[in-house]
Amino acid sequence: MTMNHCERHKKAQVDLAEKYDEQIAINLPLAWNWDNRYSASIPYVFAFSTAVAALEGAVGDLVLDFACGSGWISEWLNRLGFRTVAVDISSALLNFVKKRLACDSRIDLERFPVRLVECDADRLPFKDESFDGIICMNSLHHFADYQIILEEMFRVLKKGGRASFSEPGRCHSQAPASILEMETTGVLERDVVLSEIHTMAMKAGFAAMTITPLMQPHTVNYDYSQWQKFMKGGWSITRNYLNNVRNSIECANAFFCLHKAGDQKDSRRPGVLRVEMSAVEVCSAAPPNSPLKITLQVTNAGDTVWLSKPTVPGFVTLGVKLRRNLRREQEYWRAPLPKDVAPGESVVISTTLTSPSSRGRYRFKLDLVCEGYTWFERVGNRPVVKYVEVR
- The residue ranges of every structural domain in the chain are 3-262, 275-390
CATH of domain 275-390: 2.60.40.10
Q: Is the pLDDT confidence value at 9 over 90?
A: no
Q: Is the pLDDT confidence value at 35 over 70?
A: no
CATH of domain 3-262: 3.40.50.150
Rounded CA separation 115/386 (Å):
50
Question: DSSP secondary-structure letter at 280?
Answer: E
Find, among 131, 196, 147, 205, the residue nearest to 170 by Cα.
196
Q: Is the pLDDT confidence value at 63 over 50?
A: yes
How much of the chain, in percent, has pLDDT values that exceed 90? 77
Q: What is the pLDDT of residues 84-118, one digit of tens each?
A: 999 999 999 999 999 999 999 999 999 999 999 99
What interhelical angle do 72-79 and 91-101 show, nearest 10? 30
Find, among 75, 70, 232, 257, the residue nearest to 157 by Cα.
257
Confidence class for position 28, pLDDT limits 50, 70, 90:
confident
Q: What residues contact 216, with CB distance under 8 A and at least 6 apart?
A: 42, 43, 46, 47, 248, 252, 253
Rounded CA separation 278/296 (Å):
6
Rounded CA separation 127/255 (Å):
27
Average pLDDT score over residue span 105-133: 95
Confidence class for position 348, pLDDT limits 50, 70, 90:
very high
Rounded CA separation 255/214 (Å):
8
| Model pLDDT, residue 25 | 86
Q: Which residue has the higher pLDDT, 32 or 277?
A: 277
Chain centroid to CA 38: 27
Pairing label, strands 157-167, 131-137: parallel
How much of the chain, in percent, has pLDDT values that exceed 70? 96
Average pLDDT score over residue span 284-307: 94
Listing DSSP states for 78-96 in one string gives HHTT-EEEEEES-HHHHHH
Q: Is the pLDDT confidence value at 286 over 50?
A: yes
Confidence class for position 266, pLDDT limits 50, 70, 90:
confident
DSSP lists the bridge partners of residue 364 as 322, 386
Confidence class for position 1, pLDDT limits 50, 70, 90:
very low
